Amino acid sequence: MRMIALGVVLAALNGCASDRAAIDTSQSLVMESSVLSAGILTDEPTMSVHEGQQRASSRLYNQQEKPVTLHYRFYWYDEKGLEILPFEAPRRVTVAPHSSVDISSQTGNLTANKVRLYLYL
């Protein structure tokens, strides 16, 4: 009887888990479709060391005739795929028509070896 109850609980949990989109930390760029529809293109973020800190940067390109304001956040991960504290607050940037803007993030945690950039309107 306990095995049946355990099976029902596991099936329910599995159903809940499948409703959520899993975040794959191997993805270094996550962009909502609305950002692409607004005419924004970007490259995956690159990592470097700047003044003893890990630095991630990316360039946003606006292909439209009008300025586009969007939000972004960098997520930092260690070698095990765990997100590094403190969490960075989301930021906002406006990209002028037919131009580009560089965005970046720094962390003093030298165990950071992965970064993910999330873009949304």
CA distance 37 to 33: 6
DSSP string computed for 18-45: HHSPPP-TT--EEE-HHHHHTTEEEPPP
- Residue-wise pLDDT tens digits, 34-58: 999 999 999 999 999 988 899 999 9
pTM of the model: 0.76
* Chain segment 50-98, per-residue pLDDT in tens: 888 999 999 999 999 999 999 999 999 998 999 998 888 999 999 999 9
Residue ranges of domains in the chain, CATH in brackets:
24-120 (2.60.40.3230)
Secondary element (H or E) of residue 5: helix 2-19
